[in-house]
Amino acid sequence: MTTVQAGFGRRLGDAVVERGPLCVGIDPHPALLHAWGLDETPASLERFAMTVVEALAGEVAVLKPQSAFFEAYGSRGIAVLERVVAESRRAGALVLHDAKRGDIGSTMTAYANAYLDEHSPLAADAMTVSPYLGFGSLAPALGIAEQTGRGVFVLARTSNPEGAGLQRSASPEGRSVAQSIVDAAAENNADAEPMGHVGVVAGATIRSGELDLSTLNGPILAPGLGAQGGTVQGLRAVFGPALPNVLPAAAREVLRHGPDVDELRRAARGLREDFAALLAR
């Protein structure tokens, strides 16, 4: 296991300063493949994914391949995912695996090794993880991420409406499940400079003030822009003082402009500039 020079929080902060605050998902959904005039084959998957890499890996801070859409094609799909990771990182983008893995013990360790260990062909800069077997079950991933200078984004308050019932349910003390996840992440980030390696996922569509993120000291991945109803302008109301640590995430809002490389770049730049302008107010 190889240790990289700087922690994930610092590397992400540097990437955002250099390239602006935006994460673009690489989601080869069948509907998007068809919209691009492609069929549902490994060759089309590769054409779609590598077009996005060509357009955006030199432009945006973070690219976020959705692992499931690659896994659906078996070993050939995983081979495309490996290429996406390698070529995106070579072009300077950080890569966040949207894998949402969550398990216990040696199985969680194996997932973390697959996505975060430098010796794995899938090794990226960060991965999404699910804490719903207990936050403590994520210890192997958090430890490997810290050791290798990588990051994890823990699902806290997601943008899908089905998550609200569980994530907003409260303990007898009145703290929501989502807030308890944020608080556990904050404990792992204590004293980190400039911020820790344990981020949370909090949707751009959640209610204003629903989470107290003031002590997180880590990045906040905010999916839900565009197709799910979230807007750049609404992010300040949702995240308040934590806005500088927010990494807004979009997929279809950018990808629908393909397969033209210039149009993809134009769409990503527009979102990035809108968010930068919001931060400057």
Catalytic residues, by residue number, are 100
d(CA 270, CA 231): 13
Please state, in angstroms and rounded to a whole number, the distance separating the CA atoms of residues 54 and 86.
12
Question: What is residue 230's DSSP assignment?
Answer: B
Q: Which residues of 177-211 are buried (b: 16+ CB within 10 A; e: fewer)?
A: bbbbbbbbbbebbeebeebbbbbbbbbbbbeeebb
CB 158 within 8 A of CB 41: no
The token pair that represents 243 in the structure block: 């806005």
If you compute the radius of gyration of the chain from its CA atoms, what whole number of angstroms results? Answer: 18
Please work out, in degrees rounded to the nearest 5, the angle formed at the alpha carbon of residue 64 by the alpha carbons of 58 and 66: 140
Neighbours of 37 (CB within 10 A): 10
Give the whole-angstrom CA distance, residue 26 versus residue 54.
12
- 65 with 100: CB under 8 angstroms? no
Angle at 24 between CA 157 and CA 56, to 5 degrees: 165
CA 141, distance to chain mean position in Å, is 15
Single-letter code of the amino acid located at 63:
L
**Gap between the Cα atoms of 169 and 179, Å rounded:** 10
